[in-house]
A and B are shown apart, each in its own frame.
Chain A
Amino acid sequence: MSVTVREAGPTRAGGARLPHARRLELSDRQLGVLFLLPFVAVSLVFVVYPALDSIRLAFYSKEPFRQAFTFVGLDNFRYILSDPVFWASARQAVLWTVASIVLQTVFGVALALLLNQAVRGINVFRGLLLFPYMVPTVVIALIWRWMFNPEFGIVNAGLRGTGLVRGNIYWFSDPAWAMVLTILLNVWKFTPFVVICVLARLQSIPQEIDEAAQVDGAGAWQRFLHITLPQLKAVLAVVVVFRTIWTFNKFEEIYLLTRGGPGTSTFNLAVYAFEQATANLKLGVAAATGVLMLVFLFASSVLYLRLVRQEEA
């Protein structure tokens, strides 16, 4: 890195420098470029380039065991759109996403309200209830597989103990139960994220209005509906968008727990793309699936934002 000797450039403060401050140094402009350069370089090479390359790959086909890519036009998209597994994966992805988001938003808000109370020892509860967010998905998947093991799992043992269920539930061999488990895993892991966001907002809401309403005889539910909830609206709008996009894109939560099975009954589009690339060696089809995911996400974000704006108007 070359450092040129020059007088310091004008600063934001207006260049009110003492003479003795003039010495070997970089100007603000040079320093600014240096600060930004690593970010721009890394982003271009490792984020922007792969994203663009993925769009290019969507129009190419790669023969297994050969390096060459051949241009195939829209063939990959045609292949996907005529593949029943793709449509099933898309439906399952929407179901998985919507169910996960609704549940974790409801639980998250309820839990945040509970954790916002000023009782002694609340920090211990906060810590314990936020921790699942940090637990690796692999770990949760391992634990889930053990807890829901049909023969030796604690869940089936517990259910048998209550007498509600006779025999074992085969959680991972039943498409409906497998879907329930993946949703459960997602809700368990990410409810704390909703709690973190809502709690941060709750702590900045002044208590006076709530107390005034309480004096006026408003019940807890009324106060929540008319005072607290309107103030949470903005946070929840952001949280729901973020979580929806992230959940829709998730791969590990499903793949590690059920491998998309039984059959393809818990596939979402990310798992579908992964299987196309690794099991079928169709890199182009995987890339095209990714492009369709982006289109879908973009379309639904626009739709959602329009709905939110309409409601505000």
Chain B
Amino acid sequence: MMAIGRATRRRLKAAVTYTTLAVITLVMCFPLLWAVLTSVRPNDEMLEVRMLPRHVTAAHYRALLGGRSMYFEASDAGYRPTTAPSQHFLAWFANSVVVSVTTTLLSVGVSTLAAYRLTRFRFAGQSVVPYFSLLGYMTPSIIYVFPLFLLIVGLGLADRLPSLVLGYIAITLPFCMWLMWAFLKSVPIEVEEAGLIDGATRFQVFRLIVLPLAVPGIVATAIFSFIVAWNDYLIARIFINSVTQLPLTVGVMHFFEGVHVDWGLMMAAAVLMTLPLAVLFMFVQRQLVVGFGAGAVKG
């Protein structure tokens, strides 16, 4: 057998690792890559079998962002432009942003306060609440959604954006609570006690000592609730009826209505819909691993 030097072996091993990683990454990312490529492909090239488009066009993005109607409908008076789903894209986008951000703020705020109370004050059955919350998150959302809808109708909020915020909080709050509880449990209590002895009030201790230490947990929790709210389809589908009040997820599925499916338009919508998450992800990738590791695994 040929003797291989140590350095050569290490280099060989690295090469194998890189190649494997590159291939897997390519396969895993191909669907997203394909969506991007399709979104800049002109319509007349759409049915050709080739990887890269011959021309690059922004027409699909312009149609979405400019709110132009893309297809036409036959009527007695000949062809006339109809209200295409693409006209509402910007409104849907705004709805999704407003609802997701509101949900995140409320969910994180409420669960952080409650988790602090549960980890720092002794009382009988103090760990019942977090485990009970986890049980809540294990329950199928299909169980909540219809009774919740009846409740929303009773409150007179049906078909309005606040109903979505309430629905998403119902889904996210139990798990947010669990994540924050698991995280705050691991934040040492001694610093706080020192603060209290030095004459700081409990609220000052919370605001100036606990919150800064809890940032990774808060980030993970916020990401979680933002993703849930941004990605939800089921609740919005049940709660919202008017086309202008829809979030992106339900709205974009309207692109399948009508005889003609415009794939370029649809892939452009898919890309724009993923973009906020991609930006978010780049900023917080490290904390995601740390925070979720603490909450989901060590609990």
Contact = CB atoms under 8 A, between A and B. Distances in A.
Interface of A: 8, 11-13, 16-18, 20-21, 25-26, 28, 31-32, 34-36, 38-40, 42-43, 45-51, 53-54, 57, 111, 114-115, 117, 119, 123, 125-132, 134-140, 142-144, 146-147, 149, 152, 154, 157, 161, 188, 196-197, 199-201, 235, 238-239, 242, 245, 248-249, 251-252, 255-256, 270, 273-274, 277-278, 283, 286-287, 289-291, 293-294, 297
Given A119-B14, A130-B285, A290-B142, A32 B110 contact: no
A274 B142 contact: yes
B133 to A, nearest CB: 8
A18 B196 CA distance: 10
Contacts of A286: 142, 146
B186 interface: no
Nearest to B294: A200
Contact of A245 (B138, B263, B292): B138
A152 B47 contact: yes
A114 B292 contact: no
Contacts of B34: 143, 146-147, 154
B138 A51 contact: no
Interface of B: 14, 17-18, 20-21, 24-25, 28-29, 31-32, 34-35, 38, 46-47, 49, 109-111, 113-114, 116-118, 120-121, 133, 136, 138-144, 146-148, 150-151, 166-167, 169-170, 173-174, 177, 193, 196-197, 199, 201-203, 227, 230-231, 233-234, 238, 248-249, 252-253, 263, 266-267, 269-270, 273-274, 277-278, 280-282, 285, 288-290, 292-294, 296-297, 299
Chain A contact residues, majority secondary structure? helix
A126 B170 CA distance: 32
B266 A42 contact: no
B231 A54 contact: no
Contacts of B263: 146, 149, 152
A8 B203 CA distance: 12
A53 B121 contact: no
Contacts, number: 252
A28 B121 contact: yes
A256 B292 contact: no
Nearest to A34: B113
Given A139-B270, A238-B297, A21 B199 contact: yes
7 contacts: A42-B173, A119-B14, A127-B285, A144-B31, A147-B34, A200-B297, A239-B296
B20 A114 contact: yes
A249 B224 CA distance: 18
A16 B231 CA distance: 50
A32 B121 contact: yes
Nearest to B231: A136
